[in-house]
A and B are shown apart, each in its own frame.
Chain A
């Protein structure tokens, strides 16, 4: 697998009279975990949605694809009526096959669907109603659908929300494995210790870029200590690592 590289050139976004993003210039290298960090309302999701072509942004976002152009997208949440009669397997089916999902999962997809659900620890709940799952379980299912068909670019909007430690470990391991195999991951992440630990690059956004680079370098700057008052957490992570 060969993930794409992505370049943001002078990207800005105005919604109504509000400037959401301004003067965004940075690059995402192929095969890396690139975390997008920032305060609530700082424009992280808008940046990602601009990249996905869902926002009326200005400037240029170019994605240098190779053979596989599949994007696996894990949205922030699934906002839907919790009483809808949609099972986990129905949801996965509707994302990955054309055959109407009420006729069942096609035999061609059954193997990969089962293995992906197994991977995120949801195989035992594939017949549960989507609305009856906990927030963390739903995040696991959202991650599972992003892996079918095999993507070369993973875009994750706070995938760890509501996840228990086991769930976090499973998703983190899957993302690391994905990028180790050559895929590119763009990941909105609030856990700065985790960013420090596993990301090869990070960008801090609060309407504009405040930090950009390797977390192990940029998080030791004075700006970083102002942005993250709880950098002692990071210190413990550093000590653990050493």
Chain B
């Protein structure tokens, strides 16, 4: 894998050296982050449409918070504190499965239950992180919470690549089924769809995607990248095709611009913040377009 990453890095650096793209991409760490952006941008944009349709925006926020706890556990058990993936994946997956199990058992509405779990995960994460903060450089915590392209290495890229491939391989063939299951579970069941199993699959996909993106976007902000591009796309589209396509475009553009802009303009902001601010500007632009164009006019109440 290292050879492939090196090839991609050298390709991007070559483009930068030839003046085809901005010179900041000639730095290896920027090239790394750019490759990661090209992995996660389309994927987060595509999966984000499903998150919006299934009204699970706050679920990924809860997982992001759980990732903080995962990091703290990693520090406690002696994992490399710059990349405690084993702890993050394990804790977040258990957390997600327990949340979904509870949702199925209690039949409580998603927003109520996710709100409860979100608070719990934030409380546990904050408590454990403060507890272990004496053991680590506190800048590591900034990295986990808000993302940092400076620390992205080959391991992070491998985690992202494998996660992206798994997510795409599972989500694409199941996209229609997941969609139908969220629109009408009873109809989906008659069509031979295992609605509960698909729910668990989707929850797991969001979980591994969220954890894999922590390094780039940050645990606190990864939920926003699942949500904002899809919400912006929803502002402008009336069909699934445009909804997914524009969500992917907005998400990828946000990632690329969010990595490039702070370098280009010497802005002292973390990559996660820049990515989300870019996505937010796109969202505002789509809101203005929606309000301005008569074709989007609809009932006011």
- Which positions in A face B, CB cutoff 8 Å? 49, 52-54, 71, 73, 75, 78-81, 83-87, 89-91, 93-95, 97-104, 127, 129, 145, 155
Contacts and interface: CB of A to CB of B under 8 A. Distances in A.
Given A80-B184, A85-B237, 10 more contacts: A49-B186, A52-B189, A90-B239, A93-B176, A94-B179, A95-B180, A100-B173, A101-B179, A127-B239, A145-B187
A98 B177 CA distance: 8
Interface stretch (B71-79, B128-136, B149-157, B240-248): B240-248
A79 B157 CA distance: 41
B191 interface: yes
Interface string B186-221: 110111000000000000000000000000000000
A217 to B, nearest CB: 32
B5 interface: no
Nearest to B52: A84
B176 A155 contact: no
14 contacts: A52-B189, A71-B190, A75-B187, A80-B183, A81-B55, A85-B242, A86-B179, A87-B239, A93-B176, A94-B179, A94-B180, A100-B172, A102-B49, A129-B238
B241 to A, nearest CB: 5
B176 A97 contact: yes
Contacts of A91: 183
A102 B190 contact: no
A25 B241 CA distance: 48
Chain B at the A interface: SS class? helix
Contacts of A53: 189
B192 to A, nearest CB: 9
Interface string B18-58: 00000000000000000000000000000001000101000
A87 B175 contact: no
Given A75-B184, A91-B183, A85 B238 contact: yes
B9 interface: no
A82 to B, nearest CB: 10
A78 B183 contact: yes
A98 B173 contact: yes
Contacts of B53: 81, 84
Contact of A85 (B172, B175, B184, B240): B240
B186 A101 contact: no
Contacts, number: 81
Interface of B: 49, 53, 55, 172-173, 175-177, 179-180, 183-184, 186-187, 189-191, 233-234, 237-245
B176 A101 contact: yes
A181 to B, nearest CB: 21
A85 B183 CA distance: 12
Nearest to A90: B240
Contacts of B239: 85-87, 89-90, 127, 129
Contacts of A127: 239
A54 B180 contact: no
Given A79-B184, A95-B180, A100-B172, A85 B243 contact: yes
Nearest to A76: B186
A78 B176 contact: no
A102 B241 contact: yes
Nearest to B180: A94
A23 to B, nearest CB: 25
Contacts of B176: 93-95, 97-101
A98 B180 CA distance: 11
Contacts of A90: 239-241
Contact of B245 (A54, A97, A101, A102): A102
Contacts of B245: 102
Nearest to B245: A102
B186 A85 contact: no
Contacts of B55: 81
B183 A54 contact: no
Contact of B244 (A84, A95, A102): A102
Contacts of B173: 98, 100
Nearest to A49: B186
Contacts of A155: 190
Contact of A104 (B49, B177, B233, B241): B241
Contacts of B234: 83-85
A158 to B, nearest CB: 13
Contacts of A87: 238-240
A88 B285 CA distance: 28
A103 B172 CA distance: 10
